Copies of this chain bind each other. A is one copy, B any other.
Amino acid sequence: MRVKDSDWLHQRIQNTKSFLCVGLDSDISRLPLSVLDHDDPVFTFNKEIIDHTFEYCIAYKINTAFYESMGVKGWESLKKTINYIPKTHLIIADAKRGDIGNTSLQYAKAFFDAMNCDAITVAPYMGEDSIAPFLTYKDKWTIILGLTSNQGSSDFQVLNTEGESKVYEQVLRKSKEWGTTDQIMYVVGATKPEYLEDIRKIIPDHFLLVPGVGAQGGDLEAVYNYGKNSQVGLLVNSSRGIIFASSDSDYGIAAGKKAQVLQKQMKQLLNS
């Protein structure tokens, strides 16, 4: 199996004409009635979503919170979902973990070994030794929160520090030294595409995971124009806009259509 490095991602983008990541935020309280009498409703739902979307995307992002909220059963759904995703796709655990070194190492084992994910999102607040254990996995991706797409990003991330650089810019500047551009990606919210230009001055070569297109209101074209690099360098995520496109039994087909619309927009941008 080829390592899923940045060249691999770039090639997948060119072959699929897509840099779409589908977010499996499979909130059980929003699943269609038709799946609820199945043994594992969340896995049944995810299977159908994956079947109808995989040809339009290159990655799946699994939001661990929606699985943990169901306790042990949720972790079973999570594991089955990961096993079902085609090996042609990047599997991201959107877990936002981060702790002291010996603990982060356990999270790395959890998601890279036990769960066999290709990537994990991590929070930078605790600094280098909280992220270093993830980076000991040379063929996996560590995706560090840079500038997030939510309102609360204005509380601490954009505080000015000495030298006029914002906290999130300090995060980018320091953390990019901790690993290679085949190991580190950054989360950069799509709701602030104008920031992408400045961000690209600090990290021109890194892949960016961009949430917030769709439900959170980001604009795909602006993200592409401000954020692309020589390898495209973008994974744009859409979760609720795709997976909850229909609340009826046609939810798979509806999700596929939504994913296809985004993929077509991406193809146009890639060809432009």
Query: What residues of chain A have their CB less than 8 Å away from a CB belonging to chain B?
Result: 25, 27, 63, 65-66, 68-72, 74-76, 79, 94, 96-104, 106-107, 109-111, 113-115, 123-131, 145, 148-157, 159-162, 167, 170-171, 174, 216
Contact A69 B127 (CB under 8 A): no
The docked-state distance in angstroms from the alpha carbon of A185 to that of B97 is: 20
The docked-state distance in angstroms from the alpha carbon of A163 to that of B91 is: 42
> A68 — which chain B residues lie within 8 A by C-beta?
106-107, 110-111, 114
Closest residue of B by beta carbon distance from A153: B127
The docked-state distance in angstroms from the alpha carbon of A174 to that of B155 is: 8
- In the assembled complex, the CB of A179 is this many whole angstroms from the nearest CB of chain B, namely 14
> A66 — which chain B residues lie within 8 A by C-beta?
103, 106
Contact B106 A69 (CB under 8 A): yes
Closest residue of B by beta carbon distance from A168: B125
Contact B127 A155 (CB under 8 A): yes
Contact A125 B124 (CB under 8 A): yes
Closest residue of B by beta carbon distance from A166: B161
Which single member of B27, B103, B152 contacts A126 (CB below 8 Å)?
A: B152
Among the interface residues A71, A128, A154, which one has the most CB atoms of the partner chain B within 10 A? A71
- In the assembled complex, the CB of A42 is this many whole angstroms from the nearest CB of chain B, namely 12
The docked-state distance in angstroms from the alpha carbon of A152 to that of B156 is: 17
Which single member of B131, B149, B156 contacts A124 (CB below 8 Å)?
A: B156
Which single member of B63, B76, B157, B167 contacts A72 (CB below 8 Å)?
A: B76
- In the assembled complex, the CB of A109 is this many whole angstroms from the nearest CB of chain B, namely 4
Given known pairs A96-B97, A100-B149, the reply for A156 and B106 (CB within 8 Å) is: no
The docked-state distance in angstroms from the alpha carbon of A202 to that of B71 is: 37
> A126 — which chain B residues lie within 8 A by C-beta?
96, 123, 145, 148, 150, 152-153, 157
What are the nearest 9 A-B pairs in CB distance? A127-B152, A127-B155, A65-B106, A68-B110, A71-B114, A69-B109, A69-B106, A129-B152, A69-B110
Contact B65 A71 (CB under 8 A): no
Given known pairs A128-B151, A156-B167, the reply for A79 and B71 (CB within 8 Å) is: yes
Which single member of B109, B150, B162 contacts A160 (CB below 8 Å)?
A: B162
Contact B167 A159 (CB under 8 A): yes
The docked-state distance in angstroms from the alpha carbon of A239 to that of B110 is: 20
Contact B150 A170 (CB under 8 A): no
> A97 — which chain B residues lie within 8 A by C-beta?
65, 96
The docked-state distance in angstroms from the alpha carbon of A94 to that of B104 is: 12
Contacts A66-B103, A125-B157 aside, 16 further interface pairs with beta carbons under 8 A come to: A27-B102, A63-B103, A65-B97, A65-B104, A66-B106, A70-B114, A72-B72, A101-B150, A123-B125, A126-B150, A126-B152, A127-B151, A128-B151, A155-B174, A156-B171, A159-B167
